[in-house]
Every structure is written in structure tokens, then in C-alpha cells.
């Protein structure tokens, strides 16, 4: 990611707005620090996909704690501490991951009305995550940075230190693999939802 520098007055203003919980400040925080946060997470995890997960978790935790942040202190070290902790959490979860039990459609239909939609949505999310996990590590990193990290091809190129053409070709290949791997969900996703 391009390293964007701000004057000290702009940074203070951003930190104050972030501490107030102003939503636009989160986007600015993301744009300014996500590359360096990713570097912190990657150094701790040595895995592109897990590092992207840790950064996403860190940004969410930072946003939830925004009102407790002291805008008189520099934000970057605060973000890096949160990122390191998120990386540790991701590492622990990844290390202790146990296989999930198969849930069949009958189990979902036995759920009381109202809960079924959220369970089906969770099932779809699980299916998508499982399909992403089947991708190579490099393809996972690009998909996660693009879709979870909302990074552009250029930002991904700079973050992973690979040519933009490589990013585009890996993205295309990974998307094609995901479409093939998720073909069985096509009817479920496209099926209209009836109240």
C-alpha cells in the first residue's frame, strides 16, 4: 500500500475524529495504516491469509474501542498493539482449529422460524470460507485483501510486493476457482427469499 503521510495537524484532527467515533475517520485510518498493520501481522504469522484476517480483526477491535482511545497519544503504536494482539488471537484460533461437524439440510429445517435465515446465511458464509481455504496461500491472500481488506489491485501489489499484472492474473484465477467450487450454491443463492 502506498505510504500516505499527513501533517501533524491532519493526524491530530484524524485522531480526534476517530476518538469521537466519526465513521469517515475509520476509512482514513484504514487507508493510512492498513499496509503497516498488515506488515506487523505478517511478521507475527508468516501467512498472508492469516495476516489479512488479523488486520481485519484489529480494525474492527480498534473501531469498537475508538471512544476509549486517547487522541493526545499517537494512534499508530496503539493500532500496532491491537494488530499484534489480533495476530496472536488468529494464531491461537488457527492452531487449535478442529474439523467442523457436517450439518445437513434437515438440521437447518428443524430450526425455529426466524432463526433459519441467519443459520442458512451462516452456512453460506461457512461454505464460502471453506472454498477460500482450498485456494493456494497466495490466492487466498489476494482474495482476502481484495474482499475483506477492500484493497485495490495497486494496493495489493504494493502490500504483497508483487507486480500488478501478477495480482490481476491471480485474482482472475482465484475467482474462477471459487466460482467452480461454489457452483453447488448457485441455486440456493439465486433462489428468491420468501417471507
Domain boundary among 74, 95, 116: 95
Distance of alpha carbon 13 from alpha carbon 19, whole angstroms: 10
Alpha-carbon dihedral angle through residues 103, 109, 110, 112, given to the nearest 10 degrees: 120
pLDDT at 75 over 50: yes
Contact 185, 124 (CB under 8 A): yes
Residue 102: burial class (beta carbons within 10 Å; 0-12, 13-18, 19+): exposed
Examine the domain organization and report whether 75 and 116 are in the same domain: no
**pLDDT at residue 96, as a whole number:** 56
Q: Is residue 100 part of a domain?
A: no
Examine the domain organization and report whether 51 and 69 are in the same domain: yes
The candidate with the shortest Cα–Cα distance to 127, out of 84, 186, 68, is: 186
**Tally of structural domains, the chain:** 2
**Over the stretch 12-46, which tens digit does the pLDDT of each residue have?**
588 899 898 888 888 899 989 999 999 888 888 88
Examine the domain organization and report whether 171 and 116 are in the same domain: yes
Rounded alpha-carbon distances, angstroms, from residue 39 to 5, 84, 122, 150: 17, 10, 30, 16
φ/ψ (deg, to 5) at 46: 55, 35
Domain boundary among 47, 70, 95: 95
- The boundaries of the domain holding residue 111 are 105-190
Examine the domain organization and report whether 91 and 112 are in the same domain: no
Examine the domain organization and report whether 144 and 76 are in the same domain: no
**Over the stretch 89-111, which tens digit does the pLDDT of each residue have?**
888 887 655 333 333 343 444 44
Q: Is residue 195 part of a domain?
A: no
Q: Is residue 1 part of a domain?
A: no
**pLDDT at residue 47, as a whole number:** 85
* Widest Cα–Cα separation across the chain: 59
Contacts of 147 (CB under 8 A, 6+ apart): none
- Which CATH number goes with the domain that contains 159? 1.10.10.10
Examine the domain organization and report whether 87 and 121 are in the same domain: no
Q: Is residue 2 part of a domain?
A: no
Examine the domain organization and report whether 27 and 78 are in the same domain: yes
Q: Is residue 55 part of a domain?
A: yes
Amino acid at each position: 500500500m502506498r505510504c500516505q503521510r499527513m501533517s501533524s495537524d491532519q493526524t491530530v484532527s484524524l485522531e480526534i475524529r476517530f476518538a469521537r467515533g466519526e465513521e469517515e475517520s475509520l476509512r482514513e485510518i484504514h487507508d493510512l495504516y492498513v499496509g503497516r498493520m498488515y506488515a506487523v501481522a505478517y511478521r507475527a504469522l508468516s501467512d498472508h491469509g492469516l495476516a489479512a484476517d488479523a488486520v481485519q480483526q484489529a480494525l474492527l477491535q480498534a473501531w469498537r474501542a475508538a471512544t476509549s482511545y486517547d487522541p493526545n497519544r499517537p494512534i499508530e503504536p496503539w493500532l500496532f498493539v491491537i494488530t499484534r494482539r489480533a495476530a496472536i488471537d488468529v494464531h491461537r484460533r488457527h492452531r487449535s482449529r478442529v474439523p467442523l461437524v457436517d450439518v445437513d439440510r434437515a438440521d437447518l429445517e428443524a430450526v425455529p422460524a426466524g432463526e433459519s435465515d441467519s443459520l442458512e446465511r451462516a452456512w453460506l458464509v461457512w461454505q464460502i470460507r471453506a472454498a477460500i481455504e482450498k485456494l493456494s496461500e497466495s490466492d487466498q491472500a489476494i482474495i482476502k485483501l481484495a474482499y475483506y481488506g477492500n484493497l485495490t489491485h495497486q494496493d495489493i501489489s504494493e502490500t504483497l510486493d508483487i507486480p500488478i499484472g501478477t495480482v490481476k492474473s491471480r485474482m482472475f484465477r482465484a475467482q474462477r476457482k471459487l466460482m467452480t467450487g461454489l457452483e453447488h450454491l448457485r441455486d440456493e443463492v439465486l433462489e428468491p427469499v420468501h417471507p
